Structure formats: structure tokens, C-alpha cells
Structure 1
Amino acid sequence: MKRLLKSMLIAVAMVVFASSFASARDQIRIVGSSTVYPFASYVAEEFGTTTKYPTPVIESTGSGGGHKLTWAGDGIDTPDITNSSRRIKVSEFKRAMENGVDGIIEVVFGYDGIVLANNEKAERLKLSREDILLAVAAEVPKNGKLVKNPYEYWDEINSDLPHNKILIYGPPTSSGTRDALKELVMEAASEEIPAYGGEYTKIRQDGAYVPAGENDNLIVQRLTKDPDAIGIFGYSFLEENQGRIQGAIIEGYEPKPEYISSGKYPVSRSLYFYVKKDHIGKVPGIDAYVDLFLSEKMIGEYGYLKNIGLIPLPKEKREEVRKNWENRKELQLSDLK
């Protein structure tokens, strides 16, 4: 009987050990924003080449999709870092806490502008945020009331715009770029139009706005083939495709780094990634990866990421971000309110 009990205990121990071994991993797992993806991928490749650690696995799931995956729990089977082209929402933070996530570290690493781009050979658009709202909204004001959006051509919205069919390839619901479009364009413009009664963010679903997935390079390919089409994505994709596409002028400002970082370009935003604090030390290399990401050679004024479209933070802000990371400063719910 004792021998049988001992054998059973050994078997249980082996199962536990095997389970623990299977769940352990030596490769950082990152999910999230398609906008942040090119920057994180560059850092990941450099990290895999120059350190003893393997190259992190990065998936472009959209900001919303990344937050959903990452904050599902604190186990080693969940992602370590989520990239985000917007700040984490209160609801996402609360869900993380409810699911046992033991500490979140917020890192803001640069700026980005949302670009409305078209084919380089087409007429360059000069738009207001109201023009964009009326092109993408599900409903528009008519005689003081909201009606289903009837606009098919840009010059129906504004006679100064070309007689081009409204066809916009934009981010899907999982994307932080879509959240930013709603906040920075639709909400801001609708507040100035009494018929909307405040913030309006419902996007039309009649084919004029086409959710184009999380691969922004596919949107660029469509713009090069269709001179009437408009694409919505982060500034880095415009930077990477100079000579093929051009960014619309919005309220008098081109999507240029100096206007994005100063806030003059009206559709600019901060870029983030979020680190699961409890995974630091459990998955090798997380601290070293973040150290590299936040180094001057990556996010500095002459850093590598600037060459692929990142708008650097001011020097003082970069130093503050590094200090918060060095101190492993945790994000608090009160920071989001």
C-alpha cells in the first residue's frame, strides 16, 4: 500500500512538473496595435540580434484585441506586453484587476498622427474634421434632424472638394486607430453641430466606409490601385510609402512630424505599450527588451524608430518615462480618471 501511494505521489509530481515545464517559455509574447507593430517589430529584431534572448513573438491584433488577450489573466499562457495606439480604458483596467493581473506598467514612447491618405497622383484633399465626420458618420443633419447618411461624393459634403466617390478604407472595431478617429475627429466635430446633441461616433455601414483589417499595408496597396479611395492609418505608413501616397491636409496642417508633436495637426495622439509586471522575471528578457525600446538609439531625436515614422517625445518626457520604468511604477485606476 505504501509503495502504491509512493508511486501515485511520484506520478502526480511528474504531471505537475511536466505541466509547469510546458507552461514555461523563454520567448516574450507581444500583441496589440497595428500602428505600434512596425516600431515594436524593429525593436524585437534588434533585440533578438544583439542580446542572448530569442526574438519576441509579436501579433498585430489591434489595440482592443491586444487588451482583451493580455488582461484575460496573469498566467504565463497570456501575453506579456500589449501595444496600444490609445490609452488603456477604465473598463480594461478593471477587467485586468478582476482577472488577477498583478500590476500594469504603462509606457508612452512617442507620438503619431492619424493620416487620411490617397494616391499620390490624385488630387490632394484639404479637409476639416467636420468634412470627415460627414463622410464617415452613419447619420448626418438635415433640417435640424439626423437622417441616414446620403452622401456618395465628397463635393456633396463640401463644394470645394472633388467629385470623387466616397470610399474609405479604415480601421476595424478592434483598432486603436478607430478609437482615435472617433475621439479626435467624430466627437470633436459633432460637439460643434447641434443636431448631433453632443458626441457622435456611429460609423456608416453602407459600403462607403470599409473596415480593412489590422494590416495597414493592404490599405496602402488599395490606394495605389484606386485613385478615388482614401485610407486611414498611422503616420508611419505614410512615411514608409512616400512617392506612392499622400496625406490630406486637415484644418490647414499637413501630417508632418513638427505639426504632430506640437499638436497643431489636429489628429495626433500618443503611442503606448503596457507591461504585465508579474511576468518580469518569469519570462526572460522582458526588462532588457523594454530597456532597449526606451533607449535613445530607438526613441531619441536621432533614433532608429524616427526613421520609420515615430515622432519622438521631448527629451524631458523621455527621461520621465525611463525613470518611471526603472522604478517599475504601476498604473493606478486614479491615473485614468
Structure 2
Amino acid sequence: MAVTFAGVAEARDRISIVGSSTVFPYTQAVAEEFANKTGNPAPVVESTGTGGGMKIFCGGIGEGHPDITGASRAMKKSEWENCQKNGVTDVSEAMIGFDGLSFASSRKGPDLDVTKDQLYLALAAQVPVDGKIVDNPYMKWSQIDSSLPDTEITVYGPPPTSGTRDAWVELVMEEGCESFDAVKALSKDEHKSVCSRMRQDGPFIEAGENDNLIVQRLEADPNAFGIFGFSFLYENQDKLKGAQIGGVAPSFETIESGDYGVSRPLFFYVKNAHRGVIPGLSEFIEEYMSDAALTSGGYLNERGLVPLNDARREELQDAVLNGKQFTRFQGS
């Protein structure tokens, strides 16, 4: 799709990037490398959350709209339809690697090995008790299971606009609730509500899109836990430790192997109509797709990204560097 917009080079000399707080540190690292190597202005990278980023990204074509959005989940069909409606019809998808969702606490806090069904019971708005679905009565971990700490449940997590929240609901809450007979008996609509709705009575606290703020709060309260991407745990391992989920702790090895059961792919999406028009965009994409960034031992791996294997990485590089169009929803 050929698009021209007059005066864009004069109107905006910096690449504009929005999206996931989890993908943000990786994109920021690429932006710094790109600026150092080329002498071009560093791209403006904003942490808006995955959902917020998709909405802004899909708003239209031209200098008033961002060139790239990061995402801690794949684009939804509804978001693609919004893109289409606003003329954003030629988009490339880049799955850059994997991340493990971490359930972490201060190093001063208790060691925790918790299951997905226990996490569901701790954090859902409604839970099964004695065969009935009721408002969550659990205020301490030990009320869920006597083997868990006798401390109040305090968990800081992302807001509904976050891809991290979406992934946590899908990979932990919904899987955890499946083990209860009272849930299996529900209708489809009731099932979705009971399995995915986070509690709002105090123990779960929405902490916005700023993962660094969660880190600070965990340092201040050794009994509190936080939900965020593995990179933030990795970058703050001197202060924090990851809980085991189902007996497995998050690490490069367990996320890559799939042994850690709360892992997900990470993405960015680029408007192909902006390539060759926004100064430096093509060169920035080349840097993001470089072996120096994406391989095992590359600078994104050093910051916590779990890399793709060689075959998948080479396929990704070919598709993104050649502007292959995102087609998952075409014909659906």
C-alpha cells in the first residue's frame, strides 16, 4: 500500500514507538544502539501498555501516528479490525522472543512454591467454596492452604489495558480455575466471568504500567508479591526473587524449554507504509532484527529476553526485513 504524507520528514524527525511495558526495555535498548551506531536521533519510546499501544498504533497513517507498537501478546482480531478501519492495512508482525510472567517478592520475603489453582483462589473476585461460587473470602495465603505463609495476600499487578494482565488471566487464572468442579458446571458466560475477573476488595492492587513502581513497593513490604515480565525480575535479581509456580522457578532455561508454565511470546508491529518515509525507520528495524540484538548472548538476551531458536529467528528476520504483511486474520 503506497502512502504519501506531505512534509513528514520535516514534521517528525524521530521514530515514534508505543506499547507494552514488558517490551519497552528491549525496544529502548535497540533505540540506544541505533542512535549510537547511526548518529540519528533516538526513537521516542512510550510505555502505554499493550492494549493502549494497539489503540494508538491503529489510529491511522501519517506523522501524527506511531510507527511501531510493542506487545506482550499477539494482536487481537478486534484490534486488527480497528487498524483496517483507520487505513492501517499493511503491517508486519515480529515475534522477537519469549518472556516468563514472574510472581516475585523481595529477597527478604518468604520462599513460595504455589500452584495456578492456589493463585486463582488468591486473586479471583469470586471462587468456589464448598461447591458454590462466592465472593472471595481469602485474606491470608494460609487460608487457601496451610502450607502457604500465614501472611495477608498483597499482590501488585498490571491494569486491564496491559498485555501482562491479559497473559496472567489466560495462563494462570483461567487455567487455575479449571480444576474446580463448581466452575466446570457454569455456563459459558459465567465461566468466563468467574475465571478471569480479578478481585477488587484489597488483596490485588492495580499498580499501573510502571513495573519499576512495583519493584519499589515489594522492597518496602517483604510479604507482598508483584506480577511482571521476567526481564524486570532479571534486572532486579539483587532485590527480588521469583516464586516457583508448580515447582518451577522462572529462568532463561525453564522459559525456553517450556518447563515454566507461565511463559508467552513478545511482539512488535510496524506500519510498512511508514518505511522509507519516516527518517531512519528502516535502519531501526534492521537493528532490531540484527543477530547482535536477537541471538543467544545478544544484547537483548543480556537484558532478559529469551531468544528464538536459530531457524525461527532467521524466518522472523526474513519476514520483517522484507516487510511481509501480517495476514493472520485475512479471510477469517
TM-score w.r.t. the length of structure 1 is 0.91
Give the whole-Å Cα distance in 1 for the aligned partners of 2:330 and 2:224. Answer: 40
Q: Call closer, same or farther: CA 1:287–1:179 in 2, change over 3 Å.
A: same
1:148 alignment partner in structure 2: 135
Displacement of 1:332 after TM fit?
Answer: 1.5
Q: Call closer, same or farther: CA 1:125–1:336 in 2, change over 3 Å.
A: farther
1:192 alignment partner in structure 2: 179
Does the 8 A contact of 1:122 with 1:228 survive in 2?
yes
Does the 8 A contact of 2:77 with 2:329 survive in 1?
no
Does the 8 A contact of 2:57 with 2:67 survive in 1?
yes
Name stretches of at least 5 consecutive residues in structure 2 with no aligned partner. 1-5
1:257 to 229, 252, 256: 252
2:295 to 296, 300, 305: 300
1:34 alignment partner in structure 2: 21
Does 2:223 match 1:228? Answer: yes
* Cα-to-partner distance string for 1:250-270 (whole Å, 9 max, x where unaligned): 001110111101111000000
2:3 alignment partner in structure 1: none
One-letter code aligned to 1:255: P
Does the 8 A contact of 1:90 with 1:336 survive in 2?
no
* Cα-to-partner distance string for 1:201-259 (whole Å, 9 max, x where unaligned): 00000111111011101101111110111011000111111121100000011101111
Q: Which stretch of the first structure deviates more once superposed, 323-332 or 303-312?
A: 323-332
1:325 alignment partner in structure 2: 320
1:77 alignment partner in structure 2: 64
Count of aligned pairs: 320
* Cα-to-partner distance string for 1:148-196 (whole Å, 9 max, x where unaligned): 0011000111111010110100011111100000110111122222322
Give the whole-Å Cα distance in 2 for the aligned partners of 1:150 and 1:90. Answer: 36
Structure 2 counterpart SS, 1:334? coil
Does the 8 A contact of 2:8 with 2:278 survive in 1?
no
Give the whole-Å Cα distance in 2 for the aligned partners of 1:277 and 1:21. Answer: 15
Give the whole-Å Cα distance in 2 for the aligned partners of 1:23 and 1:72. Answer: 21
1:114 alignment partner in structure 2: 101
Does the 8 A contact of 2:9 with 2:279 survive in 1?
no
* Cα-to-partner distance string for 1:119-175 (whole Å, 9 max, x where unaligned): 101111101000111111000102222110011000111111010110100011111
* Cα-to-partner distance string for 1:101-136 (whole Å, 9 max, x where unaligned): 131100011110000001101111101000111111
2:51 alignment partner in structure 1: 64
TM-score w.r.t. the length of structure 2 is 0.93
Does the 8 A contact of 1:23 with 1:77 survive in 2?
no
Q: Which stretch of the first structure deviates more once superposed, 318-327 or 226-235?
A: 318-327
One-letter code aligned to 2:154: L
Name stretches of at least 5 consecutive residues in structure 1 with no aligned partner. 1-18
Displacement of 1:335 after TM fit?
Answer: 6.9
One-letter code aligned to 1:76: E
Q: In angstroms, what is the RMSD of aligned CA positions? A: 1.7
Give the whole-Å Cα distance in 2 for the aligned partners of 1:232 and 1:128. Answer: 15
Give the whole-Å Cα distance in 1 for the aligned partners of 2:237 and 2:88. Answer: 42
Q: Call closer, same or farther: CA 1:211–1:23 in 2, change over 3 Å.
A: farther
Give the whole-Å Cα distance in 2 for the aligned partners of 1:23 and 1:78. Answer: 15
1:167 alignment partner in structure 2: 154
* Cα-to-partner distance string for 1:34-54 (whole Å, 9 max, x where unaligned): 001111101101111111421
* CA radius of gyration, larger in: 1
Identical columns (%): 47
